[in-house]
Amino acid sequence: MGKLKVPKNGNRKDLIVKAGAALFREKGFGAASMRDLAENLGIEAASLYNHIRSKNEILESVCFNVANRFNLHLDEIETGTLSPIKKIETILRFHIQQMIDNYEEVMVSDREWKHLDEPYRSNFHTQRRNYRKRLATIIEDGIKKGEIKKIDAPTAVVILLHSVTGIESWHRSTAKISGAELEDNMVMIMIDGLRSK
Amino acid sequence: MGKLKVPKNGNRKDLIVKAGAALFREKGFGAASMRDLAENLGIEAASLYNHIRSKNEILESVCFNVANRFNLHLDEIETGTLSPIKKIETILRFHIQQMIDNYEEVMVSDREWKHLDEPYRSNFHTQRRNYRKRLATIIEDGIKKGEIKKIDAPTAVVILLHSVTGIESWHRSTAKISGAELEDNMVMIMIDGLRSK
DNA sequence: CCTACCGATCGGTAGG
DNA sequence: CCTACCGATCGGTAGG
């Protein structure tokens, strides 16, 4: 038998970041303590610092992991040949899927990014603004083509994005509908709301 | 000249609660300190405690002031004779107005209520659930009457409510549209999204 | 990964 | 409304 490598190296940090996302979502970044986090992982607080440099670094990992995922997806969609309204629908469905599969990271990056230290905070803020501008451009394109009703595009973007965070409460609700039903309900409401009649 | 009464009595607490709402919105409840708050008001931290009992009491005031306002408005609408879709539109417009006039308190009550001490936290949570249930009932009524498309009512409620919090970014944006335009844009998207075709 | 500990800051109180 | 101060807890480090 060949020697079994034990590569769990970067792995420990990923575990801490994941547990950090869960804790930050539950308590908020400011109210979450490193001692809490360590206890959730079954180790002492001091031991965390063998894998991460600071509490803020955990937040950085969460925020930029999420931002990268959304930026990459938008890159794909933007250069595609879908109609503007179909592009928006695809992006909306991606946001919903991310919230279903990954909602603790997504919520933390959405709500707690302001606690990022500089220069990360400014960097993240810029990425966020650019992402929204690119969505607004797609919507304006759809208005020009007559597919989307004449609305203020930046307003439509914030409504669209914030409506998705409503899914948070779906996660812990009892007697819930399936993820696919949830997605279709959201698309029915939001895309019909945008579409010109 | 009659003596000028100086009644600024309950007034001092209101001032602290208002400044608290602004600070809690900006930093989050956990990361906001009483020393910060005192500095914003031009006094020492210890002096705050002549007007309030605790940091948590400020949060209680903010959350229950907001909850009372929304509950009272819903009481009025619920017993009125408007059609279901018109009721939802009126409630949506009220939420938007509250966000425009009063957004720091509204945002804090929405985001930070989980930091409430018991029994306030449970009380608030129950009120929140009941409010959403009452909205869902109106939507279900609208579906039965054929005014609203066949969607999952609780899902529609969370989408509706969360879409309004998107207005937050409108507040500090430059080159912004007017409050009335914002309101009409939101109603166009969300109410058309709900309406059966 | 742990024990032991640091300086800073927290919410809040005593006493005037 | 202030000065002075409390015990608790925080993020993080030293040293092994």
Contact present, A187 and A92 (Cβ < 8 Å): yes
Taking residues B146-152, what's their average pLDDT?
96
Taking residues A57-73, what's their average pLDDT?
98
Taking residues A175-186, what's their average pLDDT?
90
A167-172 long-range contacts, Cβ below 8 Å, gap at least 24? A167/A96, A167/A99, A167/A100, A167/A103, A167/B158, A168/A99, A168/A103, A168/A107, A169/B158, A170/B155, A170/B158, A171/A100, A171/A103
> Closest to A27 (Cβ–Cβ): which among B30, B186, B188?
B30
Residue B94 has pLDDT above 80, yes or no: yes
| pLDDT, position B172 | 79
| Distance of C1' in D16 from CA in A61, Å | 30
Q: Where are the beta strands (DSSP E) in chain A?
A: none
CA distance A51 to chain B (A): 25
Q: Which nucleotides of D are covered by protein (CB under 7 A)?
A: 1-5, 9-15
Return d(Cα B129, Cα A45) in angstroms, integer: 37
Q: Average pLDDT over chain A, rounded to whole?
A: 93
Enumerate domains of chain A plus CATH numbers: 63-194 (1.10.357.10)
- Which nucleotide minimizes the distance between its C1' and the CA of B33? C10
CB A185 to CB B154 under 8 A? Answer: no
Taking residues B151-156, what's their average pLDDT?
96
pLDDT, tens digit, 9 for 90 and up, residues A136-177: 999 999 999 999 999 999 999 999 999 999 988 888 787 689
> Considering chain A, what percentage of its residues have pLDDT values greater than 90?
87
pLDDT band at A6 (very low <50, low <70, confident <90, very high): very low
| pLDDT, position A91 | 98
Taking residues B170-188, what's their average pLDDT?
88
For testing the chain A interface, which of B96, B162, B173 should be mutated: the one with the most A CBs within 10 Å? B162
Return d(Cα A79, Cα A102) in angstroms, integer: 26
| pLDDT, position B175 | 66
- The single-letter DSSP state of residue A174 is S
| pLDDT, position A73 | 98
Residue B1 has pLDDT above 90, yes or no: no
pLDDT, tens digit, 9 for 90 and up, residues B10-56: 589 999 999 999 999 999 999 999 999 999 999 999 999 999 999 99
Q: Which nucleotides of C are covered by protein (CB under 7 A)?
A: 1-5, 9-15
| Distance of C1' in C16 from CA in B126, Å | 44
Taking residues B97-104, what's their average pLDDT?
95
Q: Average pLDDT over chain B, rounded to whole?
A: 93
Return d(Cα B47, Cα B39) in angstroms, integer: 11
Listed range (A10-24, B4-18, B100-114) with the worst mean pLDDT? B4-18
pTM of the model: 0.92
| pLDDT, position B2 | 41
CA distance A50 to chain B (A): 26
CA closest to A173 among chain B residues: B154
Structure tokens at B40: 């914003």
Return d(Cα B163, Cα A105) in angstroms, integer: 20
Kindly list the residues from chain A whose CB atom is less than 8 angstroms away from the CB atom of residue B164: 162
Kindly list the residues from chain A whose CB atom is less than 8 angstroms away from the CB atom of residue B190: 159, 189, 193
pLDDT, tens digit, 9 for 90 and up, residues A14-64: 999 999 999 999 999 999 999 999 999 999 999 999 999 999 999 999 999
Contact present, A149 and A194 (Cβ < 8 Å): yes
CA distance A175 to chain B (A): 11
